[in-house]
Structure 1
Amino acid sequence: MAGVTSADVARESGVSRTTVSYVLNDTEGTSISEATRRRVLETAARLGYAPSAAARALRSGRSDLVLCVLPDWPVGPVVETILDHLADALGERNLSVLVHHVRGERPLSHLWRAVTPRTVVGLTPFDPDEARGMRQAGIQVVSTGVDDPAAQDPQPRIGRIQVDRLVAGGPRRIGYATTDDRRVADFADRRLAGVRAACAEYGLAAPLVIPVPVDAGAGATAVAAWRAAGVDGVAAYNDEVAFAVLAGARIAGLAVPRDLAVIGVDDVPLAALASPPLTTVTQAIEREASYLAACVLAALDGEDAPAPPHGGPVLVERDSA
């Protein structure tokens, strides 16, 4: 039955709406028989009644929902780790996490006004007007700074670490395997800026940039173009792109790293299982995810946000570079 209300439950149970409210909200201090309580619960379950989150928040003065606003990024191992940590930390407080993946131009206010969350967490800074509107509605707003332009940007440093490792291993002509996913082009461009700067400092030619979809055939095409240009070391946007490059090298019959060194970013679980095991740069995402969860819990408790964790991207040495 669609649109079932507490009135429907009351009518089917033969009790008042007040009694239904007391039973469904487990209100203390009421004298309701066990038989009546059971009848109301069974009727609500049979009818498929679900109490309004907004009404429940209005009655209790607080919501048990945390809305996490995810930008238009692909959901891969990094984002999944962040969300897992957040859900685990909030679950210990009996709070639920609703993830909203931004698509299109629809204002965020359409969502938070409908679900009335207790807290809204953004993985990038909110529009100032949106943040103001949420605060005026009594909603806590936590902007995490995971990709805050005002914070120190680790992305160029990632590119520099990649070039440092490739040059240390011997390659003198560098290729850059960028992503074809425009949703993360800004990340890729900032990492590429670090690669370019490092190549210039080493006196190397500018990196030969080729977009590489996560596909073995695309990897083979890119590898052929790099080899024709004398490239012997490739820095990839992330580990998934690096896997495509490794596959392309195998198709071309090249030995990695002797013929072509490859280095990725993120240190996803499969990186250690690649053939050969992938040298990569970790962003210590577990640490960043724990920091995000701590920021949200501090906001819930009315405390100041913790200091950002120390440290930056770190090389993970394996066999591919």
Structure 2
Amino acid sequence: MSTPRVTSRDVARRAGVSQSTVSYVLNDTPGQAISAETRARVLDAAAELAYTPSAAARALRAGRTDTVLVVLADIPVGDTALAIVGALSRTIRPHGYTTVYQRRDGRDLRTVLRSVTPVAIADVGAFSPDEIAAAVERNVPVVGVSLDGVDGHVMRIPQDEIGRMQAEHLIARGRRRLAYAASDDPDAHDLTAGRIEGVRAACARHGLPAPVVVETPLYADAAARAVDRLRNRADPVTGVCAFDDEVALAVLAGMRLGGLSAPADVAVVGVDDVPLARLVSPALTTVHVRSDDVGAALGRHVLRRLKPELGIAEPDDQATVHLVVRETT
């Protein structure tokens, strides 16, 4: 049996630092305030684990012309983001291209391009159209997917539509007082804003009060306190639109601790349709974002720029989302 390849995540875990800190240290990224002690811990952990960067990452730093850099927005990197990267990679790999992905980590595109030389950039909600001009100056084609509907990208994932779909479903099931269970992760802010706006719009359309917004940590006792705030009101909440499936599962755990059940007391809708959503009891109603389609479409946009001779038709410009109805509503 082959030994699993050591990853930067393993190094980060051994050193007790974030994955981005490992990247900064091992790539000697300029402008990062990293102490000598932290740098030494990372280098020692990498040596202990015999870590070596992937071939694609080494090629990217060396400026090889077959590597596409995928830059993710500063959002939680969960199943959806990884599915986008995976589908993009599978789409372009048969044409001789490899992918390397990284988070933006607060850097602008000019800073990113100082240390790497990709043949193209796939921007997953990381950069504004103005920032993308920096890549144009370097003759690096950029294709991007907007996470908030901003113009200037080849695709968008409609966050407001996700929230609207959650709320419309709950309202159709007779739920008249809705809440939005937000993530307590600061990186989720940009996605949250669009989704809450969609929930608010649906409530207004039906003449209902604006949704109650409550942060819901991923701990059962903390989630129970959040649920208690939603229920112990003059107008108790009867339907919850959750930021994602993890937050929805936290809401369900908090409800159980408070002696409540779904959907009898409170109906709950998540987002992402992770495998666990269909395995829990009651199974979770959720909004499924066709992440594979987003990644494949981005890959086709990359190929249209790099190999126009392939004659690839222009893909759709908006991700498909649909509701998966299960037992929590």
Matches within 5 A, 1:67-216: 67-105=69-107, 107-124=108-125, 126-127=127-128, 130-145=131-146, 147-150=148-151, 154-216=158-220
Unmatched segments (≥5 aa) in structure 1: 1-49
Q: How many residues align?
A: 266
Specify whether residues 128 and 280 from structure 1 end up closer, same or farther in structure 2 by C-alpha distance, changes over 3 A only: closer
What displacement does 1:132 show? 3.8
Corresponding residue for residue 324 of structure 2? 316
Residue in 2 aligned with 1:231? 237
**Secondary structure of 2:75's aligned partner:** coil
3-state DSSP class of the match of 2:287? strand
Please tell me the residue identity of whatever aligns with 2:203: C
Deviations along 1:207-263, one digit per CA (max 9) or x if unpaired, are 111011222122111111111121111111111110100111111121211011111
Secondary structure of the corresponding residue to residue 99 of structure 1: strand
Matched with 2:48 is none
Contact 1:171 1:232 in 2 (8 A): yes
Q: Are the counterparts in 2 of residues 254 and 260 from structure 1 also a CA contact under 8 Å?
A: yes
Between 1:243-252 and 1:197-206, the stretch displaced more is 197-206
Aligned to 2:46: none
Change (3 A) 1:206 1:108: closer
- The Cα shift of 1:190 comes to 1.6
Please name the residue that 1:279 is paired with. Answer: 285
Q: Structure 1 residue 312: deviation in Å?
A: 4.0
1:188 match: secondary structure: helix
Match of 1:217 among 221, 234, 249: 221
Cα RMSD (Å): 2.6
Partner of 1:45: none
Determine if contact 1:288/1:309 at 8 Å carries over to the other structure: no
What SS is found at the alignment partner of 1:69? strand
Q: Look up the match of 1:33.
A: none
Task: Say if 2:156 and 2:319, in contact at 8 Å, map to a contact too.
Answer: no
Q: CA deviation at 1:170?
A: 2.6
For the residue of structure 2 that corresponds to 1:78, the secondary structure is: helix
**TM-score, reference length from structure 1:** 0.74
Question: Which segment is superposed worse, 258-267 or 198-207?
Answer: 198-207
Identity %: 40
Listed as ranges, the gaps of 5+ residues in structure 2 are 1-54
Aligned position for 1:66: 68
| Residues 248, 269 of structure 2: 8 Å contact kept | yes
From the CA coordinates, give the structure whose radius of gyration is larger. Answer: 1
Label 1:252 to 1:98 Cα distance change in 2 as closer, same or farther (>3 A).
Answer: same
